[in-house]
Amino acid sequence: MSSALLSKFNELPKILLLLLSEFYIVNLLILSTYFWVRLVYRDEKINMTAITYDYLWHNVKDTTKADFQTWEMQFFGAIAFTAAWRIYRACTSAASACFTALGYTQLFVGVMSFLVNEALCLQYAIAFGLVFLLIEQPCYKAEDEVEVFTPVLIQEKVRSAASPGVAYLVFLHTKWSISSMHAYTIFSELSRQYTSERITFAKLDLSVWPNWSKKLGVDISPQSWQLPTIILYENGLELKRLPKRSGKELRRDTIVKAFELDMRLATSKQARVSKLE
């Protein structure tokens, strides 16, 4: 079994702890009330025509109302497919996958409740909103090799090239960016695996230093796809940054390949062996 696969298995208990956090438990308790909604409204007629095969191809003018269970089956299939595709294409970590799955489940419950009772849908929206605002989403906590940078350290260590031959991989983030929190799971893991004499992992919180976001060319608005941004510096110059177009570029394999982390680690090991000889 490869070391990469072993590391994934070793992280499973920590991921489980995230899912057992207050944020997810409270959300799941709210979602569990849907079983009561289903029990009460399962025979309810919906004032909309269900998009069935027969409706599309043989009976387009039919306006027969579909019952709750017909709508539930169709919408569940659509939501499940969309969520699975979104997780596969865009989620960069297990934490982001769990958050995405939770969001689509909330959407499913919200829409189904809206079809039978608008007031019930509003109650769900308020409940989910309060949980999001009042309960902190669990963040990935593990030992890492990431240095905390300030603008002064960026100037002294990175841009002044005080350590020739040493590259700096800097993680730019904000406190309000959920994507930053999810992507940091990967960055933290990579720091433990690839930190060496030739490459240093660091992070800079742009919500603390907002003026530096413009200097570094990063949009820190809540809807920005540039959060987080990872920049590679070497010899005082910026060599490369991710993402270029969208946040889905911040997958583990993409980061390793884009910044040549395997090659840099191998070079560092060779240099260490040469010194010993």
What pLDDT does residue 11 have? 53
Strand, helix or coil at 195?
Answer: coil
Query: For a pLDDT cut of 90, what percent of the chain falls above it?
Result: 15
State the average pLDDT over residues 89-110: 80
Q: Which long-range contacts (CB under 8 A, 24 or more apart) does 158-162 make?
A: 158/233, 158/236, 159/233, 159/236, 160/236, 161/235, 161/236, 161/237
CB atoms < 10 A from the CB of 250, how many? Answer: 26
The type of residue at 37 is V
| Residue 63 pLDDT > 60 | no
Query: For a pLDDT cut of 70, what percent of the chain falls above it?
Result: 75
What pLDDT does residue 127 have? 94
Residue pair 161/44 in contact (Cβ under 8 Å)? The answer is no
Which of the pair, 93 or 9, is modelled with greater confidence? 93
What pLDDT does residue 220 have? 86
Strand, helix or coil at 171?
Answer: strand
What pLDDT does residue 210 have? 87
What pLDDT does residue 106 have? 92
Q: What are the residue ranges of helices labelled H in the chain?
A: 3-19, 22-32, 34-41, 53-57, 68-90, 94-116, 118-134, 151-153, 178-194, 211-215, 252-258, 261-276
**Which domains are delineated in the chain?**
3-134 (no CATH), 146-276 (3.40.30.10)
Backbone angles phi, psi at 194, to 5 degrees: -115, -5
Residue pair 256/262 in contact (Cβ under 8 Å)? The answer is yes
| Residue 171 pLDDT > 70 | yes
| Residue 60 pLDDT > 60 | no
State the average pLDDT over residues 69-79: 85
Cα 152 to Cα 59: distance, rounded to the nearest angstrom: 70
Strands 229-234 and 237-242: antiparallel
pTM above 0.85, yes or no: no
What pLDDT does residue 162 have? 54
What pLDDT does residue 1 have? 42
| Residue 250 pLDDT > 60 | yes
The type of residue at 222 is P
| Residue 230 pLDDT > 50 | yes
Structure tokens at 4: 């990469």
| Residue 62 pLDDT > 50 | no
What pLDDT does residue 7 have? 47
What pLDDT does residue 251 have? 78
State the average pLDDT over residues 174-180: 82
